[in-house]
């Protein structure tokens, strides 16, 4: 199977080498894949570490943005640049487990023609974060699920799988990565939630605070609801039913 692993990163210099090694070790040798990092204009040693990996690993692709655009902007840039139509996304902090990738691949066909409207979304059953982050994330996921009616228990989970065209057909906006299940459903797609492992962060700290995520989240949810109400869906009449 052919696919691209897309990873947006910002100031994750101490995590990218280990994450790259784990991805390479976790994926079966019969697959044809690339590891694509998008550096969201990091200010630490992230870019230097990624440059070394880019020189050492044949299936490695590196993009650096001219300024910090945010996770959704970096993710979209990576998906646009990916060479394969099937996309696997991971967070750059190493908390997503690359061993879960194989389970996601089983949801898609070898030829890539089936399940083009499918989003496979990770569900972190046992969160390895502190109590406050677990609580805030639980509240945020509950609020999104109730207001958007997407039946997704963990829409903020970073590990996902989807086809490139499905993602690029969605309306782009800042923070859209948190709302992919609702956006896919609004466009008539299918969402499957699958349990995944979640690990402690080895280095660094989260880029999101509780209050800024809360206030931005409320604003974004209202925007996603608006998009759902204003989306355009058309159906073509079967040719045998056209007279004249």
**CATH number for the domain harbouring residue 113:** 3.90.550.10
Q: How many domains does the chain have?
A: 1
Any domain includes 241: no
d(CA 140, CA 119): 20
In a domain, 9, yes or no: yes
Within a domain: residue 84? yes
With contact defined as beta carbons under 8 Å apart, do 63 and 36 qualify?
yes
Name the residue range of residue 72's domain. Answer: 2-234
Residue 200 forms part of a structural domain: yes
Cα–Cα distances in angstroms (integers) from residue 162 to residues 57, 129, 138, 181, in the given order: 25, 26, 24, 11
Q: What is the pTM of this model?
A: 0.83
Mean pLDDT per segment of 10 residues, for the chain of length 244 residues? Answer: 97 96 96 97 97 96 97 97 98 96 90 80 79 61 68 90 96 91 93 92 61 60 76 69 56
Q: Is 230 helix (H, G, I), strand (E, B) or coil?
A: helix
Per-residue pLDDT, 228 = 77
Query: What pLDDT shows up at residue 20?
Result: 98
pLDDT of residue 149: 72
Neighbours of 53 (CB within 10 A): 17
Examine residue 38 and state whether it is found in any structural domain, yes or no. Answer: yes
H-helix or E-strand containing 144?
Answer: helix 131-148
How high is the pLDDT of residue 156?
Answer: 85
Question: In the 8-state DSSP scheme, what is residue 124?
Answer: E
Identify whether 196 is part of a domain: yes
Residue 62 lies in a domain: yes
- Asked whether residue 239 is assigned to any structural domain, the reply reads no
Say if residue 181 is exposed, middle or buried (CB neighbours under 10 Å; 0-12, 13-18, 19+). Answer: buried
Q: Residues 6 or more apart from 190 whose CB is under 8 A from it? A: 115, 117, 118, 119, 184
């Amino acid at each position: 199977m052919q696919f691209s692993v897309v990873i947006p990163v910002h100031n994750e210099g101490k995590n990218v080498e280990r994450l790259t090694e784990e991805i390479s070790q976790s994926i079966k040798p019969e697959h044809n894949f690339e590891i694509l990092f998008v550096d969201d204009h990091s200010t630490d040693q992230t870019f230097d570490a990624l440059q070394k990996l880019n020189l050492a690993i044949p299936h490695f692709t590196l993009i650096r943005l001219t300024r910090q655009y945010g996770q959704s902007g970096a993710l979209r840039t990576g998906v646009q640049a990916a060479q394969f139509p099937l996309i696997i996304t991971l967070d750059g902090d190493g908390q997503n487990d690359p061993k879960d990738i194989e389970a996601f691949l089983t949801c898609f066909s070898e030829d890539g023609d089936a399940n083009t409207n499918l989003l496979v979304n990770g569900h972190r059953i046992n969160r390895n974060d502190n109590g406050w982050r677990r609580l805030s994330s639980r509240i945020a996921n509950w609020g999104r699920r109730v207001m958007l009616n997407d039946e997704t228990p963990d829409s903020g989970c970073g590990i996902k799988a989807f086809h490139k065209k499905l993602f690029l057909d969605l309306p782009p906006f800042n923070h859209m990565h948190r709302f992919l299940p609702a956006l896919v459903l609004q466009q008539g797609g299918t969402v499957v939630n699958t349990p995944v492992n979640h690990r402690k962060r080895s280095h660094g700290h989260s880029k999101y605070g509780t209050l800024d995520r809360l206030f931005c989240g409320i604003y974004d949810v209202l925007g996603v609801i608006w998009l759902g109400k204003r989306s355009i869906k058309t159906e073509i009449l079967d040719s045998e039913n056209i007279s004249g």
